[in-house]
Structure 1
Amino acid sequence: MKEPIGFEDFMKVDIRVGEVLEAKVYQEARKPAYILVVDFGEEIGTKKCSAQITECYDCEELVGKQVLGVVNFPPKQIGKLLSEALVLGVYSDQGVVLIRPDQKVKKGDRLG
């Protein structure tokens, strides 16, 4: 377990629902990954990110899926890609499994 944080620290993390618009293999990545373009709704807009989820998903099946992502981290250079968001997943025996709403919700809805 990691060290405890205060509730105020957790509330600083902006986690929103987004819809995957595009997914393609990130050819230049050191570890197998996809480049995702995710629409987080009107307020946030679209953001690109790298996701190491190739063991559990194909690009085609990702398009149209809703995902949860952190949208207020500063951009991070990952190889040639400037990643603008962090799509959330669970490390499991089969690979990284995305965290997703179990019902369709509005893009940009906030985890709270």
Structure 2
Amino acid sequence: MAEFEDFMKLDIRVGKIIRAENFDKANDPAYKLWLDFGEEIGKKKSSAQITDLYKIEDLLEKQVLAVVNFPQKQIADFMSEVLVLGVYGQEGVVLIEPEQRVKLGSRLG
């Protein structure tokens, strides 16, 4: 079993998607995302396999949760800096987002 301290090691924050593009060089269909986490964390990039349920124009300005303290990961020619969180639904990955608008960079926990 995981301990509460293990969970607290994850830095999960709210970011806003400010740019999204098709990621043609990814092995599986994905988007390149640019997110704004506010002053403390700033702007970060992520690759996300969410093309089944989301169109690029639907992603802009959407607030989502992401782990911001994992090591960066090179995916093809793109450096993914954060892990955007989602759950696997029947038709694809569903992003985890706050029910109401909150301050960018707000921490889960």
What TM-score, normalized to structure 1? 0.96
Cα-Cα RMSD:
0.5
Q: Distance in 2 between matches of 1:110 and 1:64?
A: 18
Q: What's the secondary structure of 2:58's corresponding residue? A: helix
In the other structure, the counterpart of 1:50 is 47
Distance 1:50 1:17 in 2: 16
Per the alignment, residue 73 of structure 1 pairs with 70
1:99 matched to 2:96? The reply is: yes
1:23 & 1:67 partners in 2: Cα distance? 13
Identical columns (%): 61
1:82 aligns with 2:93: no
> 1:62 and 2:59 equivalent?
yes
What runs of 5+ residues in structure 1 fail to find an aligned partner?
A: none
Shift of 1:107: 0.2
The alignment's TM-score, normalised by the length of structure 2, stands at 0.98
Could you tell me which amino acid in structure 2 is paired with residue 61 of structure 1?
D
The size of the alignment, in residue pairs, is 109
For 1:5, the equivalent position in structure 2 comes to 2
Q: Which runs of 4+ in 1 moved over 4 A?
A: none
Deviation at 1:78, TM superposition (A): 1.1
Listed as ranges, the gaps of 5+ residues in structure 2 are: none
